């Protein structure tokens, strides 16, 4: 390593992504390169540092001690360099080719990005948005400048970041049009007698609803546990499953699927979330412009949510149970709701 820096400074940006991803294919995807080109850059980096940097491991590559020592200083140095290059530079949306990195879950992707895409295609065709999964390192990435925005719960915020609150979304219960549990109003007994879909992004059992029920010495039957809100509504079609979700999820699902939502039969606290950015980027012209687009979208979404009725979707219809073996009943009748499931041994501590 004869010189202080490699001649091609893009190698350092590549190394920063490789050290974070510890996976050549994923790093290539983030960099917009082929896997072969990324591997070639890694070979050049190994030659420059005279160190393997990343070695085989399962399920991810392992960092050598030399690479471990580079992680923090390299990210901070690149963030400072990006800030210096962008500092005071004018931002013209119609001609810019800047890349903005947005961290969020599938819900943020499916609802925010389509609206943002329509704006960018007409006003800033060269601007690129890179959406990545939000994780525990989101605030650190905002501070280091490797991400521009993140959608986060408000309880995770720190004094070093600014934020714009997302619209408050009450929870509703989503199901197929004609679901017998919705006939005459959704009661707690009918809710507990039904089978449910639980969205658990990290795969953990239980959720806010289950914790509330546990405090009441009650439980529900979760038949499906899935990782994404975007896939959950499809499970309700042609089944008697129910999904308890934010009203925005229900509104999006009912726009394309024959589903309806009803108020939940128990009080569920609203999770407060926000669009978050770091103080260091607050006055950046490009950042300020994109932030304005996001804030306009959030204001319109908030107005829409405030105007929603407590019940939504197609009008409920009378339908027979989906089970083919269910006995026939006189028109207009419905079975008495079963008794709530009660647990033995006191409230559950499952989270």
Same domain assignment for residues 216 and 82: no
Match 């083919």 to its residue by tokens: 324
201/190 Cα distance (integer angstroms)? 26
Last residue of a domain, one of 64, 86, 108: 86
Give yes or no: residues 291 and 142 share one domain: yes
Clarify whether residues 145 and 283 are in a common domain.
yes
Name the residue with tokens 């089978």: 195
Q: In this structure, are 178 and 247 located in the same domain?
A: yes
* Number of structural domains in the chain: 3
Alpha-carbon distance values, 126 to 32, 97, 129, 322 (Å): 15, 5, 10, 50
Judge whether 298 lies within some domain.
yes
Decide if pLDDT at 293 tops 70.
yes
Name the band, by pLDDT with cuts 50, 70 and 90, for residue 51. Answer: very high
d(C-alpha 28, C-alpha 37), whole Å:
8
Burial level of 43, CB count in 10 A (0-12/13-18/19+)? exposed
User: Is 1 domain-assigned?
Assistant: no
Residues 149, 230 within the same domain: no
pLDDT at 271 over 90: no
- Same-domain check for residues 50 and 187: no
Q: Is the same domain home to 135 and 177?
A: no
> Comparing 280 with 172, which gets the higher pLDDT?
172
Residue 325 located in a structural domain: no
Six-digit token pair at 342? 């009660």
For residue 222, tell me if it sits in a domain: yes
Closest by CA to 269, choosing from 155, 348, 347, 183, is 155
Q: Is 330 contained in some domain?
A: no
CA nearest 351: which of 200, 210, 155, 203? 210
Both 194 and 132 in a single domain? no
| 207 inside domain | yes
Is residue 276 within 8 A of residue 162, CB to CB? The reply is yes
Residue-level pLDDT at 3: 55
Comparing CA positions, the residue from 115, 114, 1 lying closest to residue 47 is 1
The pTM of the whole model exceeds 0.85: no
Residues 255 and 302 in one domain: no
Examine the domain organization and report whether 57 and 138 are in the same domain.
Answer: no
Q: Find tokens 């009203």 and name the residue.
A: 247
Q: What are phi and psi of 116, to 5 degrees?
A: -65, -35
Q: What is the pLDDT of residue 1?
A: 56
Terminal-to-terminal C-alpha distance of the chain: 51
Percentage of the chain modeled with pLDDT above 70: 86
* 304's tokens: 């829409």
Give pLDDT, residue 106.
Answer: 82
The answer to whether residue 94 sits within a structural domain is no
Residues 206 and 181 in one domain: yes
What confidence score (pLDDT) does residue 235 get?
Answer: 96
Which among 32, 61, 86 is the end of a domain? 86
Q: Are 248 and 129 in contact (CB under 8 A)?
A: no
CATH of the domain at 65: 1.10.10.10
What are the residues whose beta carbons fall under 8 Å from the beta carbon of 143, sequence distance 6 or more? 79, 160, 278, 280
Sheet holding 128-133, edge to edge: 128-133, 99-104, 149-153, 273-278, 161-165
CB 6 within 8 A of CB 58: no
Residue 218 in any domain: the answer is yes
The pLDDT confidence band at residue 328, using thresholds 50, 70 and 90, is very low
Is residue 161 located within the same domain as residue 228? no
Per-residue pLDDT reduced to its tens digit, 179-235: 999 998 999 999 999 999 999 877 667 788 999 999 999 999 999 999 888 889 999
DSSP character at residue 265: S
Tokens of 239: 């089944």
What CATH number is associated with residue 175? 3.40.190.10
What are the beta bridge partners of residue 150? 103, 276
Return the top range by mean pLDDT from 29-33, 93-97, 155-159, 318-322.
Answer: 93-97
Q: Is the pLDDT of residue 276 over 70?
A: yes
User: What Å distances lie between residue 332 and 29, 45, 179, 258, CA to CA?
Assistant: 57, 74, 13, 22
**Single residue among 195, 229, 262 that ends a domain in this structure:** 262
pLDDT at 334 over 60: no
pLDDT of res. 313: 62
Q: Which residue range forms the structural domain that includes residue 187?
A: 171-262
Residue 2 pLDDT more than 60?
no
Residues in the chain: 351
DSSP-assigned letter for residue 202: T
């Amino acid at each position: 390593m004869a010189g202080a820096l490699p001649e091609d400074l893009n190698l350092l940006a590549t190394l920063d992504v490789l050290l974070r991803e510890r996976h050549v294919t994923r790093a290539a995807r983030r960099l917009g390169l082929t896997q072969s080109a990324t591997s070639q850059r890694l070979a050049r980096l190994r030659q420059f540092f005279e160190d393997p940097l990343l070695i085989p491991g399962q399920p991810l590559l392992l960092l050598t001690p030399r690479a471990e020592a580079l992680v923090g200083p390299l990210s901070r140095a690149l963030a400072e360099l990006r800030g210096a290059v962008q500092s005071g530079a004018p931002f013209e949306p119609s001609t810019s080719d800047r890349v903005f990195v947005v961290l969020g879950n599938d819900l943020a992707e499916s609802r925010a990005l389509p609206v943002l895409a329509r704006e960018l295609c007409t006003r800033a065709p060269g601007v690129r948005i890179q959406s990545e999964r939000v994780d525990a390192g989101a605030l650190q990435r905002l501070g280091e400048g490797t991400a521009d925005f993140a959608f986060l719960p408000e309880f995770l915020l720190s004094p070093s970041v600014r934020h714009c609150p997302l619209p408050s979304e009450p929870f509703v219960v989503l199901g197929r049009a004609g679901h017998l549990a919705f006939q005459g109003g959704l009661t707690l007994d009918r809710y507990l007698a039904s089978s449910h879909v639980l969205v658990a992004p990290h795969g953990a059992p239980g959720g806010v609803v289950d914790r509330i029920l546990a405090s009441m010495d009650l439980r529900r039957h979760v038949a499906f546990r899935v990782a994404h809100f975007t896939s959950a509504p499809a499970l309700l079609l042609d089944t008697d499953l129910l999904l308890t979700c934010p009203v925005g999820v229900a509104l999006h699902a009912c726009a394309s699927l024959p589903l309806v939502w009803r108020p939940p039969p128990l009080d569920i606290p609203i999770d407060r979330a926000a669009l978050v950015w770091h103080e260091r980027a607050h006055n950046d012209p490009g950042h300020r412009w994109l932030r304005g687009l996001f804030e306009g979208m959030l204001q319109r979404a908030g107005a829409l949510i405030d105007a929603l009725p407590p019940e939504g979707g197609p009008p409920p219809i009378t339908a027979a149970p989906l089970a083919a073996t269910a006995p026939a009943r006189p028109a207009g009748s419905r079975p008495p709701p079963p008794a709530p499931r009660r647990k033995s041994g006191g409230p559950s501590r499952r989270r």
